[in-house]
Amino acid sequence: MTLNKQKIKELYADKRYQTYFDVGLFLVLIFSFHFIYTFWNERLDYWPLKGAVDKLFAWASTLLFDQSTWTLEHIFSMDFFTNNRTIVFLNNEGTYSSVTVAPECTSLKQWMHWLFLMLIFPGPWKHKAWYIPLGLVIIEFTNVVRIVGICLFLRPYPHDFALAHDIIFKIMFYVVIFLMWAIWNDRFHHTKTVISTGAKRNGEISDN
């Protein structure tokens, strides 16, 4: 077992294989959390934190709705009206399209995805202390882009809600998470590894 661990460490130290190890761990963590979250949601109904989670979803959906409508109004000058948390607007066919910001549309799952990934993935904690909150802000910004993007997409393509909601902008969400992780892995995780290895080698030379 010790020999196997040593071989794994040696392989991981080889830059030719680091990417495979890192991406593999990223995928394991992402899919693991997906199944954990699905089980917690569908089988346990968020037990024992259902009350707190429901309040968080309500707060997050209101926040997302307010941010999205502000962006549509002040950045894109889009004409629309709202009904509760539903954005209603005229599409290019002369009919009305709508986008509802439901609790399920919030960033909470992606926030938890990010927290789970970054708390477990290796790297210096002094940088995690600011990089994790920054990631949460970027994820919320991405979600605003998603809601606004769906609204803008439905104006010329009012019959393609599923394409925008389930494919284009959902993929964008996880591409952003992957890119943030890739930056972390390249700029902070492996930077620490290189510095530590260099310091160790200098220590060995000094001892000699």
Domain of 130 in residue numbering reads as: 20-192
* pLDDT tens sequence across 188-202: 987 654 444 444 444
Residue pair 40/113 in contact (Cβ under 8 Å)? The answer is no
Domains in the chain: how many in total?
1
In a domain, 8, yes or no: no
In a domain, 96, yes or no: yes
pLDDT (0 to 100) of residue 205? 36
pTM of the entire predicted model = 0.83
- How is residue 152 written in tokens? 């803008």
28 within domain boundaries: yes
10 Å CB burial of residue 63 (0-12, 13-18, 19+) is middle
Instruction: Establish whether the linkage from the previous residue to 48 is cis, with ω within 30° of 0.
Output: yes
Q: Are strands 86-90 and 81-83 parallel, antiparallel or unpaired?
A: antiparallel
| 171 is a domain residue | yes
Whether 124 contacts 61, CB under 8 Å? no
Whether residue 111 is contained in a domain is answered as yes
pLDDT at residue number 173 = 87
N-term to C-term CA, the chain: 31
Q: In this predicted model, what pLDDT tens digit does every residue of 55-98 receive, in sequence order? A: 999 999 999 999 999 999 999 999 999 998 999 999 999 999 99
Backbone region of residue 130 per phi and psi (left: phi > 0; alpha: psi in -120 to 50; beta: other values): alpha
Residue 205 falls inside a structural domain = no
Sheet holding 81-83, edge to edge: 81-83, 86-90, 96-100
Q: What is the pLDDT along the chain (208 residues), one digit of tens a residue?
A: 454 666 666 656 666 678 888 999 999 999 999 999 999 999 999 999 999 999 999 999 999 999 999 999 999 999 999 998 999 999 999 999 999 999 989 999 999 999 999 999 999 999 999 999 999 999 999 999 999 999 999 999 999 999 999 999 989 988 999 999 999 999 998 765 444 444 444 444 334 3
| Assigned domain for 174 exists | yes
CB–CB of 192/123 below 8 Å? yes
Residue 30 lies in a domain: yes
